[in-house]
Structure 1
Amino acid sequence: MKSALYLYLLLLALEAQGQYVFSLSDEQQKQKIPYSPDHSQAEGENLAYVKIAPSNADFAFRFYNKAREEASNKNIFFSPLSISTAFAMLSLGARSNTLSQLHKGLSFNLTEMEEPEIHKGFQHVLQLLNDPHREVQLNMGNALFISDELKLLQKFLDDVMYFYYSEAISSNLQNSLEAIKEINKYIETKTHGKIVDLLKSLDSDTVMVLVNYIFFKGYWEKPFNSLYTRDDDFFWDAKNSVKAKMMHQKKRFNIHRDENLSCWIVEIPYKGNATSLFILPDEGTMQQVEDALLKETVYNWMQSLENRKIYLDLPKFSISSTYDVKSLFEKMGVTELFSDQADLSGVAEKTLLKVSKVIHKAMVHVSENGTEAAAVTLIEVVPYSAEFPPPPRIRFNRPFLMIIIDKITHSILFMGKIVNPNKED
């Protein structure tokens, strides 16, 4: 009978308050492409994080497709980078077919890169994301809560600490009440108090809990003026609507109209090296756009953006989503890791391990202001003149997609679909 390695993924996806909008400078325009097909030529073959970016993007869209199969007409929000980082770290201890399935599930092709390059890539991503000098608040990290009875192999412990900067915390997991309290306290601290008492129970034979967290808080360059925010209808399907707080701006944005997929793309960059894409399918075309979600599609969108003045309506929203990642991974072909055939022999001495549970929770909050200091009433006076042709009006008053990209590491930090801006899971 194998002991259960309880693998727990957790993150606070986005605390994106302080919605600001600005036009990209020439230098920022050069940085706006999240990942290009010829990334190695563009960025230099020696940058490890550049090599893993296309695989991480492929994984993001594959995971989204599995999530939407189960979501029906519900909100979707998750951090693909959090999930891939946690499983990549665990793969340090996987062997044989278990390791092969993990690599395939995470979209890594070992004919294109060697296994050490994967871990070097994640190491580089973690270094860049956690740079304290960044203008966006971004923290990502890992922790292993380890039972006293589990003797980790020194190489596994050294590697997870070296490549993934993981904390190794000795914990009495057999005393489940105390262990749960300890892990929840850690989670609460790392998510700045946003996630409290998340872990409710532990399997009786749990010997290790792996936690990955990511916290992001971004600010736009200029705030949506709260004086213009008003109640409006948000149509989550053809017959049903909810009231939403709709923010409004008439500004210059980088936008693109994809006539083939029948959707608008609006880029709303954060102050610093992060940006977000808001994708608004025409009525009845959401599935068509979702079916086309690939890294090549997003790359083409980013290449096609043009700076234009528009009327923009965007709802305030606060949503959360929770996923049974084990179930979704099994549908993606990663099955052995969760079975009695699991080979995690590179983790611990003389202990047969498998993963019993993987839970991923993500949260996002979008509103006008980020901090009290930024919540200053601002009245903007501009000259009025008739324009021809008039700027297009892009109203996010029906289900739309959102992708948040870190421009330094070319990583998709978060992505999702907002079906109901007022609904949390």
Structure 2
Amino acid sequence: MAFIAALGILMAGICPAVLCSSEGTLGSHTAIHQDTQKQLDSPTLTSINTDFAFNLYKKLSLKLPHKNIVFSPIGIAMSLVSLSLGAKGKTLEEILEGLKFNVTETPEGDIHQGFGNLLQRISQPGDQVQISTGNTLFVEKHLQILTEFKEKARALYQTEVFTVDFQQPREARKLINDYVSNQTQGKIKELVSNLDANTSMLLENVVLFRGKWNMTFDPLKTFVKKFEVDRKKNVMVPMMKIEDMTTHYFRDEEMECTVVEMNYKGNNKAMFILPDQGKIKQVEASLHPGVLTKWRKLLRPRTVNMFYLPKFSLSKSYRLENILPELGIKELFSTQADLSGITGAKDVRVSQMIHNTMLDMLELGTKAYATTRNIDNFLSAKIRPIILNLNMPFLFWIISPFSDFINFMGRVANPAQD
């Protein structure tokens, strides 16, 4: 299974003066507090991330009520919080509050320290799971970037800086898209479809996740099966299946949905939420951090006698400058934006924020069992088998082993579409 997310933030110069301004320094409010009394612990950061992820998901689901959705909350959050290193005033306040931080209780330095530590932890190489994140800042070749911003962005968020000539938009677009294509092994070929000569900076973020199931699907058992898009429409899709799978399972009668968790080698987890027929909007509206906490506590090891999961690929791109203002992040995209901590000048705003995610749900990994059993051979007449059939719209998210951080989440409304 592979998940790749890419996010591009285009920062447009409002006046030519920005191209030659180099005055100013990064404000003292961005200092990293190594010795603060109240550190941002992992559970707190997880709850904040979950709150942001669910709120963004709800906005996307309302705008795209019958469409597939997939995005990386951690990728978007990392891009915004790295950008906040150079933000000041109301622009900074809106970014952090939009990410669900309480800026009166949590020092900004602790926020960066917490995210920096998280990034280092999730980026540790492993034999079974690969998670890599990275930011790249493409800067107009005549623009001066403040050294303090550049150093902190590199130290905390592994942000690399390259110069390009945005006055030649066609050549700049090709350079950026070739770079992203190389980073994503050719999966994302065109992150940026258009540029203009007013663009001064582009911040690009890529999140890559590759994992193998702990208990794999047998490709020889994948078959074509009906998926009920809604009460009036069915599509035929490749359906993977596993028999007699011991996993964590929970039936939430209150929210009228079923939750099942599958492990990857290396302890990352995939959580699938199957709402009852016609209840997906109800489940989506009820999502909040406490729901995830409840499910994680109530999930119990059970034998799922038959588990059906569609085999599918999704590719989604979102213009977040049209969505994030609904979460309170407005000034960043306006002429009032203050990103003077990046250049020393205020005449720069974010003109576009593009998030692109690729997802492949496949039967990857080694075969778990040489033979299988028919459930009728061992179930008594009094025991009702657990059969989980994801043949209707469902939700999913990929959770890091570090404090249940959500790396990817989405909705599969129709696996026959991308």
TM-score by length of 1: 0.86
Counterpart selection for 1:364 from 348, 356, 359: 359
Q: For the Cα contact (< 8 Å) 1:319–1:422, is it kept in 2? A: no
Residue 392 of structure 1 corresponds to which residue in structure 2?
386
Letter in 2 for 1:380: T
1:270 paired with 2:288, answer no
**Secondary structure at 2:392 match in 1:** coil
Cα separation, partners in 2 of 1:70 and 1:110, compared to 1, 3 Å:
same
- Tell me how far 1:48 sits from its aligned partner: 4.8
Q: For the Cα contact (< 8 Å) 1:146–1:171, is it kept in 2? A: yes
**Secondary structure at 1:356 match in 2:** strand
Counterpart selection for 2:74 from 70, 81, 95: 81
**Secondary structure at 2:188 match in 1:** coil
Residue 411 of structure 1 corresponds to which residue in structure 2?
405
Instruction: String of CA shifts for 1:279-315, please: whole Å, max 9, x gaps.
Output: 0000011111111111100110110011111221111
Letter in 2 for 1:400: F
1:98 paired with 2:67, answer no
- Tell me how far 1:111 sits from its aligned partner: 2.7
- Tell me how far 1:50 sits from its aligned partner: 4.3
1:332 paired with 2:319, answer no
5+ residue gaps, structure 2, are 1-9, 14-36
Q: For the Cα contact (< 8 Å) 1:49–1:124, is it kept in 2? A: no
Residue 345 of structure 1 corresponds to which residue in structure 2?
340
User: Within 5 Å, which residues of 2 pair with 1:22-421?
Assistant: 48-133=41-126, 135-250=128-243, 251-310=245-304, 311-350=306-345, 352-370=347-365, 374=366, 379-382=370-373, 384-387=377-380, 388-421=382-415
Instruction: String of CA shifts for 1:40-94, please: whole Å, max 9, x gaps.
Output: xxxx975654442221111000000110111020011100111011010001111
Residue 27 of structure 2 corresponds to which residue in structure 1?
none
Q: For the Cα contact (< 8 Å) 1:105–1:334, is it kept in 2? A: yes
Residue 5 of structure 1 corresponds to which residue in structure 2?
11
Letter in 1 for 2:392: R
Q: For the Cα contact (< 8 Å) 1:337–1:355, is it kept in 2? A: yes
Report % sequence identity: 36
Cα separation, partners in 2 of 1:405 and 1:381, compared to 1, 3 Å:
closer
Q: For the Cα contact (< 8 Å) 1:49–1:120, is it kept in 2? A: no
Cα separation, partners in 2 of 1:349 and 1:112, compared to 1, 3 Å:
closer
Cα separation, partners in 2 of 1:112 and 1:127, compared to 1, 3 Å:
same
Give the distance between the partners of 2:39 and 2:107, measured in 1 at CA.
13
Residue 13 of structure 1 corresponds to which residue in structure 2?
none
**Secondary structure at 2:340 match in 1:** coil
Q: For the Cα contact (< 8 Å) 1:51–1:121, is it kept in 2? A: no
Instruction: String of CA shifts for 1:369-405, please: whole Å, max 9, x gaps.
Output: 25xxx4x796414483233403221110000000110
Letter in 1 for 2:271: L
Instruction: String of CA shifts for 1:221-265, please: whole Å, max 9, x gaps.
Output: 222122322111100111101101111112212100000011100
Range that drifts further, 207-216 or 383-392: 383-392
- Tell me how far 1:210 sits from its aligned partner: 0.1
Give the distance between the partners of 2:171 and 2:193, measured in 1 at CA.
12
**Secondary structure at 2:174 match in 1:** helix
Range that drifts further, 402-411 or 116-125: 402-411
Cα separation, partners in 2 of 1:164 and 1:50, compared to 1, 3 Å:
farther
- Tell me how far 1:6 sits from its aligned partner: 4.7
Give the distance between the partners of 2:220 and 2:202, measured in 1 at CA.
47
- Tell me how far 1:113 sits from its aligned partner: 1.4
**Secondary structure at 1:293 match in 2:** coil
Q: For the Cα contact (< 8 Å) 1:50–1:121, is it kept in 2? A: no
Cα separation, partners in 2 of 1:136 and 1:47, compared to 1, 3 Å:
farther
Cα separation, partners in 2 of 1:47 and 1:271, compared to 1, 3 Å:
farther
**Secondary structure at 2:323 match in 1:** helix
Give the distance between the partners of 2:192 and 2:247, measured in 1 at CA.
41
How many residue pairs were aligned?
381
Give the distance between the partners of 2:175 and 2:119, measured in 1 at CA.
25
Give the distance between the partners of 2:105 and 2:187, measured in 1 at CA.
39
Q: For the Cα contact (< 8 Å) 1:273–1:408, is it kept in 2? A: no
Residue 36 of structure 1 corresponds to which residue in structure 2?
none
Residue 24 of structure 1 corresponds to which residue in structure 2?
none
Give the distance between the partners of 1:351 and 1:286, measured in 2 at CA.
44
Cα separation, partners in 2 of 1:217 and 1:45, compared to 1, 3 Å:
farther
5+ residue gaps, structure 1, are 8-43
**Secondary structure at 2:341 match in 1:** coil
Cα separation, partners in 2 of 1:165 and 1:145, compared to 1, 3 Å:
same
- Tell me how far 1:106 sits from its aligned partner: 0.9
Give the distance between the partners of 2:127 and 2:101, measured in 1 at CA.
29
**Secondary structure at 1:369 match in 2:** coil
Q: CA RMSD in A?
A: 2.0
**Secondary structure at 1:347 match in 2:** helix
